[in-house]
Structure 1
Amino acid sequence: MKMLFTILVAALTAPCASYGASLGDWITGSTPDGQQLYAGSINESGGTLTKACRPATGVCYWYLITSTICDKGQTVPALFSTSKGAVPFQLSCETAVVQDGKTNYRSIILDPDKMDSILESTMPLGIAVALQDGRFAVYRFSMSGAKRAVSILMEGANKLGQPNSKGTRDTTL
């Protein structure tokens, strides 16, 4: 579990984070300042599948973090295999993340609403990503606890994102 925590923290590029709950093979947590919340899982190869939200902006992203090299801004097709069938996605390479001397690459999974719809998969999620040389990189992630972990993430993000209507603090709406 400590390795899972460390990699999720690296994936979010936060200097440190607070561990929340373990739900099946997924965990939830937040950065110490509460500015970013996440739910995610790590596979046996060290890859990470994570949903992260910034309640202050109301924005959430799905990330795939793996050791497969990608160029910033590059968009590639991917096919996600679930218990309900195959679903096409696009991945946009965002940044390299270095943790303990190992470089991984973080890509945003475009179409987050479609990604949310596959959380009910009853089998491990398979992800095939097209590589430039005509081959595919294939990743697998457990979906055990995914739906509940993301539900907790969204409940927390919604609660933190709502303005305090009883307070007297200045705010912008």
Structure 2
Amino acid sequence: MKQHGLVMVFALLVLLSITILGVGAVSSSLSQSKMAVSMQQSGLAFDAAETAIAGVFFESVDSDVLTDNTKNDALTAARQGKVLDPTVEAMSCFDENEWTDRYVTSAGLTKGELHTVDNTYQAAIGSKSWSKTAFIREQACRGSSNVIGGSSISCHVFVIRGCGQVQNKPNVVANTLSASVYGPASQ
């Protein structure tokens, strides 16, 4: 009888060990799954932020927008707005009406249009894609040829912040780009 009791205690210990290993494996699997979903959502938000930056450039080279006197592309609008001093100010994705706002929606980028309507970028996941553009300064174009160096053309420096967010997530992914564009020199 004493042997049967030992066998039962040993069997219970083996069963307890297997249960602990099983619970640990399930817990680890759930944790890894949450990390994978989080990384996927961060990737989608990053893609939305990159798309927002591309949208600013799309609009700034759109000949239909550039030739329409009633429309200002994002860079022109930023040039006419408030000047950003990056040594004093920070540009946030949530600055309301302080910088030039543009959006990329599920309709995509349309030639001849200013992308000022705030709406969903990817409907299936409910992500948002928007940008903030600010003018920083006008400066001599570095590395330019003698033809440009002596003319009335200068470089206009902008900062463009692309922002992306997945629905119901508090995190916003932002990517910032500095752009220098040839333009007429101010008098």
TM-score above 0.5: no
User: Which structure has the bigger radius of gyration?
Assistant: 2
- Normalized against structure 1, the TM-score is what? 0.29
- Normalized against structure 2, the TM-score is what? 0.28
Higher strand share: 1
